[in-house]
Amino acid sequence: MEPVKAIEMKGISKAFGSVKANEDVNLTVYNGEIHALLGENGAGKSTLVNMLSGIYMPDSGFISVYGEEVRFASPKDSIKKGIGMIHQHFKLVDVLSAQENIILGDRQGTFIKRKKLTQEIKKLSDQYGLDVNPNKKVYEMSVGEKESLEIIKVLYRGAKILIMDEPTAVLTPQETKRLFEIIRNMKEQGCAIIIITHKLNEVMEISDRVTVLRKGKSVGTVNTKEVEVQTLIEMMVGKKIDLAITKETIENKKLLLEVDGLYVMNQEKKHALTDISFSLYSSEILGVAGVAGSGQKELCETIAGLNPAEKGRIFFEGENILGKTPQEIIRLGIRMGFIPEDRLGMGLIGSMDIVDNIILKDYQNAPGLFLKRSRYYEKANRIVDKLDIQTPGIFCPVKKLSGGNIQKVLLGREIDSDPRVLITAYPVRGLDIGASLTIYDLLNEQKKKGVGILFIGEDLDVLMDLCDRVMVFCGGEMMGTVDPSQVTKEEIGWMMAGGKMKQEVRA
């Protein structure tokens, strides 16, 4: 039987101002197919699927769904045609129950027929092997459950074509496995699935075919079975790239930072960190693995003096810095760099230029009432040169730069202050392969200089390749510290899900 074309996009172009997000892109997805959309950040993946889900309108080109040409003016039109989009950031209302979220925005009749609804949800859950309790409130759900709920939500609206935008970004390896089972199940039922990702191993594992985008253009579509990982990388990046991250072990380490019995509450007055103790030595990269929200953010911010702790001690070269404000820490002459998770929300000011961002942590040390910006021009230029930041100049607002260059400004400023300890939270989040490698090189360079680096990561492969030791967090507790050369990814994944590890590793 000839497979049915669920979606055909031909010659799609879309520009935002002078930026061509998509140019002459072609994509065909068949029924009963899992189709991966692969590409670096900024390659135009999201733009492309946003046109499928009716959020954007293409400037030119044709979209047909089941052989019928369509023009979507709004997401409603797209839903009507059976297309369901699952966004990377869940679009759920926390205080509502699963079933209330499912019918949200679905205007059929005035009253809610709860019994009928519960039955329908149950039917869908059974059919696709999803596990969702219709009456559970969203804020009580795990990330995996939320993902399932998002899927049921689009299925309930009659979606036969599912688009998933980086669905595994926030899942543990185990949850990912579970999700892949569900996706395969949907495929069996004849759904067409488009999955956006930049994780190559997942592409290889789950997809039937892959379409690679690069700089807004479609490079090609290949059958997953017939292609090597290296080939996919070349298609993505456009050149050969050595993916290997170097790791050098440096002897003669000194104790820099010691965290002892740290307890921290989060804003909801729940325990974000419970009894955390560890040591960070000079010339090492200490990784922190864990599902997003396992206490990484609180750990970083507490060490940096931004978050009050319930109890515990943090020694920096023998001095207890817990309870001190960032101001006091800066005044003590403690040289600690901090690369927060949300670069433009904390760490940088998007609307200000590079100079104004460079002075952020320095200006208080200079005497007088005035800012004396011109003194920092040289420093700004030096950072731009050294880290090869692509910018029209040092007076360019930071938010106009690309993600990688924004991160370089932040990292450049922190490195330039010659820190002893560097705390980095997801420093490569949102960066493409090339930019990520540059960041790893910079971190390695700092390590060689004797800096102790705390590295919060999400990609286990990177954590294992880059770090000397890896601490694994689960729900605010430390499950153990492992030597990445001694354990497998699955073992770390098991710890991330709450399994304790007996053996401890010394630095």
Partner 1 sequence: MKWFSLKKREEIPAKKAWLIRIVAVVLSVLCAGLVILLLGFHPFVTFGEIIKGALGSKIRLTQTVLKAVPLTITTLGIIIAFKMKFWNIGGEGQIMMGALAASVVALNFPDMPRGLLLLCMGIAAVIGGGLWAFIPAFFKAKMGTNETIFTLMLNYLAIKFVTYLQYGPWRDPGSKGFPKVADFTQNAVLPNVFGLHIGWIIALLLTVAIFLFMNYTKKGYEVSVVGESIDTARYAGMNIQSIIITAMLISGGLCGLTGMIQASAIEKTLTYSLSAGMGFTAIITAWLSRLNALASLFVCIAFAVLLQGGAYIQISMQIPAAVADMIQGILLFFVLSSEFFLQYKVSFHFKKAKGVA
Interface with partner 1 by CB under 8 A: which residues?
Answer: 16-19, 57, 68-73, 77, 80-81, 304-306, 325-330, 338, 340, 342, 344-352, 356, 359-361, 363-364, 369-371, 400
Q: Which is nearer to partner 1, 72 or 278 (CB)?
A: 72
Q: Which is nearer to partner 1, 70 or 497 (CB)?
A: 70
Q: How far is the CB of 323 from partner 1 (least distance, A)?
A: 14
Tokens of 25: 């892109």
Q: How far is the CB of 351 from partner 1 (least distance, A)?
A: 6
Residue 144's identity, in one-letter code, is G
- Gap between the Cα atoms of 116 and 8, Å rounded: 35
Q: How far is the CB of 41 from partner 1 (least distance, A)?
A: 18
DSSP string, 429-450: TT--HHHHHHHHHHHHHHHHTT
Q: Which is nearer to partner 1, 88 or 351 (CB)?
A: 351
Q: How far is the CB of 332 from partner 1 (least distance, A)?
A: 11
Q: Which is nearer to partner 1, 113 or 372 (CB)?
A: 372
Q: How far is the CB of 17 from partner 1 (least distance, A)?
A: 3
Contact 289, 457 (CB under 8 A): yes
Using CB atoms within 10 Å of the CB of residue 150, give its burial: 0 to 12 exposed, 13 to 18 middle, 19+ buried.
buried
Tokens of 249: 């072990």
Q: How far is CA 331 from CA 338, 366, 413, in A?
A: 16, 12, 18
Residue 208: alpha-carbon gap to chain centroid: 24
Would you tell me the crossing angle of helices 403-416 and 433-448 to the nearest 10 degrees? 10
Q: How far is the CB of 368 from partner 1 (least distance, A)?
A: 8
Q: How far is the CB of 91 from partner 1 (least distance, A)?
A: 20
Q: Which is nearer to partner 1, 311 or 400 (CB)?
A: 400
Q: Which is nearer to partner 1, 396 or 507 (CB)?
A: 396
Q: Which is nearer to partner 1, 100 or 414 (CB)?
A: 414
Q: Which is nearer to partner 1, 353 or 468 (CB)?
A: 353
Using CB atoms within 10 Å of the CB of residue 153, give its burial: 0 to 12 exposed, 13 to 18 middle, 19+ buried.
buried
Q: Which is nearer to partner 1, 186 or 304 (CB)?
A: 304
Q: Which is nearer to partner 1, 244 or 369 (CB)?
A: 369
- Gap between the Cα atoms of 490 and 83, Å rounded: 34
Q: How far is the CB of 345 from partner 1 (least distance, A)?
A: 6
- Gap between the Cα atoms of 109 and 101, Å rounded: 16
Q: How far is CA 165 from CA 64, 198, 288, in A?
A: 21, 10, 25
Instruction: Give the dihedral sign, CA 432/299/201/170.
Output: negative
User: What b/e readout covers 318-347, taking b as 16+ CB neighbours within 10 angstroms?
Assistant: eeebbebeeeebbeeebbbbbbbbebeeeb
- Gap between the Cα atoms of 118 and 135, Å rounded: 9
Contact 425, 395 (CB under 8 A): no
Q: How far is the CB of 193 from partner 1 (least distance, A)?
A: 22
Q: How far is the CB of 338 from partner 1 (least distance, A)?
A: 7
